[in-house]
Amino acid sequence: AQRVTQPEKLLSVFKGAPVELKCNYSYSGSPELFWYVQYSRQRLQLLLRHISRESIKGFTADLNKGETSFHLKKPFAQEEDSAMYYCALGTSYGKLTFGQGTILTVHP
């Protein structure tokens, strides 16, 4: 069965510090991994997907199949990055399995 684990419920950093949100997954097939973000008073939205290898708002995430991880990183956090972040795994049936979420707070 597929599973996504985000070990940190809460993560606090100061502005300008590096930030890494951890995500590990368990899936026997070929995974598609995503990060979704929910800013205060906004709806959940896609941040980035591993397939496109893109950098969005300074965030990057690399799929490590050996460690079954898809950690989200940003070298210099900004206050506007404060939000709830969800890691999600796409399975072969068009469904997403979400992790428990990590609330990131960036202090000034």
Pick 9 or 108: Cβ nearer another protein: 9
Measure the CA–CA gap between 21 and 74, rounded to whole angstroms: 9
Q: DSSP secondary-structure letter at 79?
A: G
Pick 15 or 65: Cβ nearer another protein: 65
Residue 26 makes CB contacts below 8 A (sequence gap 6+) with: 1, 2, 3, 4, 5, 68
CA 30 to chain centre: 18
- Minimum Å gap between C-beta 96 and another protein is 6
Q: Which residues are at the interface with another protein (CB under 8 A)?
A: 6, 9, 32, 34, 43-46, 49, 51, 86, 88, 90, 94-101
Pick 55 or 100: Cβ nearer another protein: 100
- Minimum Å gap between C-beta 1 and another protein is 10
Structure tokens at 88: 């999600």
